[in-house]
């Protein structure tokens, strides 16, 4: 099963619309980014690791980062699909990329 950006936004909006507070969600986002850093430090040998499945841990922490970022966007009625395409279009021009995301998708 695949999940679209819109599906995830709608799901999180439904989940957080009654009790979601941007500041709380942002603090969770920051916490999860720290957990991503911890896993990367373990993976790269800067922190001790006890035979942990670091790839699985990294995947889980990245999902948490996406979750809270999407929740904040959803509560603020930000269409991330549109925002991603717009931001990439601008960045592609700024950094002189051969293709932007929209062009990449159209070629597929």
**Which residues, in sequence order, are CB contacts of 47 under 8 Å at separation 6+?**
38, 41
The per-residue pLDDT for range 43-76, each reduced to its tens digit, is: 999 999 988 999 999 999 999 999 999 999 999 9
What is 19-84 written as a DSSP string?
T--HHHHHHHHHHHHHHHHHHHHHHTTSS---S--HHHHHHHHHHHHHHHHHHHHHHTT--HHHHH
Q: What is the pTM of this model?
A: 0.92
Taking the C-alpha atoms of residue 107 and residue 105, their distance in angstroms, rounded to an integer, is 5
SS3 2: coil
Q: What CATH number labels 1-77?
A: 1.10.287.1080
């Amino acid at each position: 099963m695949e999940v679209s950006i819109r599906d995830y936004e709608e799901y999180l909006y439904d989940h957080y619309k009654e009790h979601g507070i941007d500041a709380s969600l942002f603090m969770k986002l920051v916490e999860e980014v720290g957990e991503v850093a911890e896993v990367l430090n373990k993976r790269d040998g800067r922190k001790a690791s006890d035979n942990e499945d670091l790839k699985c841990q990294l995947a889980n922490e990245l999902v948490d980062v996406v979750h809270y970022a999407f929740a904040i966007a959803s509560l603020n009625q930000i269409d991330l699909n549109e925002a991603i395409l717009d931001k990439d279009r601008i960045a592609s021009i700024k950094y002189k990329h051969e293709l932007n995301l929209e062009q990449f998708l159209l070629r597929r």
